[in-house]
Structure 1
Amino acid sequence: MLFSCPLCHHPLAQVKNSFICPQRHQFDVAKEGYVNLLPVQHKRSRDPGDSAEMMQARRAFLDAGHYQPLRDAIVNILNERLSSHATSVLDIGCGEGYYTHAFADAQPGITVFGLDVAKVAIKSAAKRYPQVTFCVASSHRLPFADASMDAIIRIYAPCKAEELARVVKPGGWVITATPGPRHLMELKGLIYDEIRLHAPHTEQIDGFTLQQSVALNYPMSLSGSEAVALLQMTPFAWRAKPDVWEALSARDVFDCQTDFSLHLWQRDS
């Protein structure tokens, strides 16, 4: 197992239904099959991450297939770029596992890990997708051994560059998905008086070379309930006034465009 102790960073070994390090720190496997590697001293709140309501809204929206082209694009990149000797892939900020399980299904000989800070999301993911190894953990303190991952996927997820460089194998990959300039413009137009385009991609990841950039955009036609679910899973939800929620839920159809930016980074040898 590739897990490392979040307290002392020594390797974790699985003993029956627990993971134990040489310093005797112990982390039990939950009945759903995931392991919680987020010590209380690393939490910023009692229940960090998305709430159950946010997670359920995202699951309903994603299960309807509206972001499947994004998922398929990342699966294709993994199929093209992973070497025949690849053994492990990590999805950071995996939420309820919509993307993660597709990565596992596309790479049956590879161990796929899903990591999220939200316990409610990981609990739900582990119950639904037993083919993935899920853990509750911080994306800023990855509980994995050095040079253990052939690829890491970050869909809107934050992570420290030094942690990516530590965990990804030389020659391995980081795939990021971020909002393109015109992502969800129609939704933003309901909330902001002045619509600002998302800033162009300027990220640099120390220790990695950018090998490919892909723009992915397409229109969506949503029902009122789907539009509400979409709003609930975005940062715009905090700014939306009650009349915006009411207007969206009353819509028969809400047309909205997507605009994703995919970037493929290779770890320097």
Structure 2
Amino acid sequence: MNALPLSCPICREQLQLHVASNGFYCVNQHHIDPSENGVYSLLISKKHKLQSVSRQQMRTKQFLLASGLYDPLVDTVNAMVAELPVSEGEMHHLDYQCADGFFLRAIVNACKQDWHHWGVSDAENALFSAAKQQTPGRLLLGTMKRLPFTDASMDLITVIDSPLKGKECLRVLKPDGKIIVVIPDTRHLWELKQIIYPNLEDKPLQLNLPKGLAVDKQIDVNVTQRVSAQQAKDLLSMASFSWRVDSNMNHELLQCNEMDVQFAWKVLLLSVS
């Protein structure tokens, strides 16, 4: 029996691994085969609204992640993963909204023991990029409204590149499982925010976590790093407030050779309360 922690998107029965084809199937003979890129689609309807990430957006993000600016965050998350207790039996890790798999690849290297790694996203082209970069684990295309996993099946869920919303992560987490979530702090990209909001005020961050979760540990990552004009422009284009950026602001940034920018995140270790 090659039971998987996956539920069939059609009938909700548990999926099994078909070793010969490397595909999935359930007792009702529903089959899910990987694409040529190695991505499994667990969508049953084309009505599901998928995210669309342009090539330019992906290239910009990959350029920034590869630059080393996010290394302090990666090191902190990896250290938290490495401190998790080792247990017997199969261990399953879900990287929620894994995008192109950058953080998933980093976490795989930090695990003390063999884990089964799963990356799920609703951005098809980002998953194809993750597969192209040989991201370890199985990559799943699915909707975040209903994660394609069985109840209480995950030992660890990482939420690094997306807000933690709804109850789905809590549903698929084991009773003794852990969630690691990364939240940008109010001082994150502070110097860039000041360009857009001249009268910006520093206010404490309000943690809006789903009910049923408790904070076991919190690590604040705060580092000031020198960035190039192009990196500053790219950081702005990726930020949640990018819609406020106009051509004059971009021109102003490109006139600067370099600038110091604060990077600030809260890394939380959560468990079921």
- Do both proteins adopt the same fold according to a TM-score greater than 0.5, normalized to the shorter chain? yes
The verdict on how the C-alpha distance between 1:242 and 1:144 changes in structure 2, with shifts beyond 3 A counting, is same
Q: d(CA) in 2 for partners of 1:159 and 1:9?
A: 24
What is the CA-CA distance between 1:161 and the residue it aligns to? Answer: 4.2
The verdict on how the C-alpha distance between 1:34 and 1:250 changes in structure 2, with shifts beyond 3 A counting, is farther
Alignment of 1:121-200 (within 5 A): 121-197=126-202, 200=205
Matched position secondary structure for 1:12: strand
Preserved CA contact (<8 Å) 2:39 2:140: yes
Q: d(CA) in 1 for partners of 2:47 and 2:85?
A: 33
In structure 1, runs of 5+ residues without a counterpart are none
| Correspondence for 1:252 among 249, 257, 261 | 257
TM-score under structure 1 normalisation? 0.89
Matched position secondary structure for 1:3: strand
Which shifted more, 107-116 or 172-181? Answer: 107-116
Residue 1 (structure 2) pairs with residue 3 (structure 1): no
Alignment of 1:85-104 (within 5 A): 85=88, 87-104=91-108
| Correspondence for 1:221 among 192, 213, 226 | 226
Q: d(CA) in 1 for partners of 2:177 and 2:38?
A: 28
| Correspondence for 2:51 among 48, 59, 69 | 48
Matched position secondary structure for 1:189: helix
What amino acid is the match of 2:25? Answer: I
| Correspondence for 1:106 among 105, 110, 118 | 110
1:32 aligns with 37
The alignment of Structure 1 onto Structure 2 pairs a total of residues equal to 266
What amino acid is the match of 1:155? Answer: I
TM-score under structure 2 normalisation? 0.88
Q: d(CA) in 2 for partners of 1:21 and 1:198?
A: 51
The verdict on how the C-alpha distance between 1:37 and 1:247 changes in structure 2, with shifts beyond 3 A counting, is farther
| Correspondence for 2:271 among 260, 266, 269 | 266
What is the CA-CA distance between 1:154 and the residue it aligns to? Answer: 0.8
Residue 69 (structure 2) pairs with residue 81 (structure 1): no
What amino acid is the match of 2:126? Answer: A
What is the CA-CA distance between 1:76 and the residue it aligns to? Answer: 0.7
* Structure 1 stretches of at least 4 aligned residues deviating more than 6 Å after TM superposition: none
Residue 41 (structure 2) pairs with residue 65 (structure 1): no
Which shifted more, 255-264 or 48-57? Answer: 48-57
Matched position secondary structure for 2:51: coil
The verdict on how the C-alpha distance between 1:130 and 1:95 changes in structure 2, with shifts beyond 3 A counting, is closer
1:76-110 Cα offsets, whole Å, 9 max, x none, are: 11111243336111111211111110111222511
1:177-213 Cα offsets, whole Å, 9 max, x none, are: 1011211111111222432446523324333322111
2:235 aligns with 230
In structure 2, runs of 5+ residues without a counterpart are none
What amino acid is the match of 2:86? Answer: S
Q: d(CA) in 1 for partners of 2:202 and 2:121?
A: 28
1:13 aligns with 16
What amino acid is the match of 2:80? Answer: I
Preserved CA contact (<8 Å) 1:191 1:241: no
Matched position secondary structure for 1:83: coil
Matched position secondary structure for 1:125: helix
Q: d(CA) in 1 for partners of 2:199 and 2:68?
A: 30
Preserved CA contact (<8 Å) 2:104 2:135: no
1:10-69 Cα offsets, whole Å, 9 max, x none, are: 22233315333334444331222121223445523xx51432221111111001110111
Same amino acid, percent of matched pairs: 30
**What is the root-mean-square deviation of aligned Cα atoms in Å?**
2.1
Preserved CA contact (<8 Å) 2:101 2:135: no
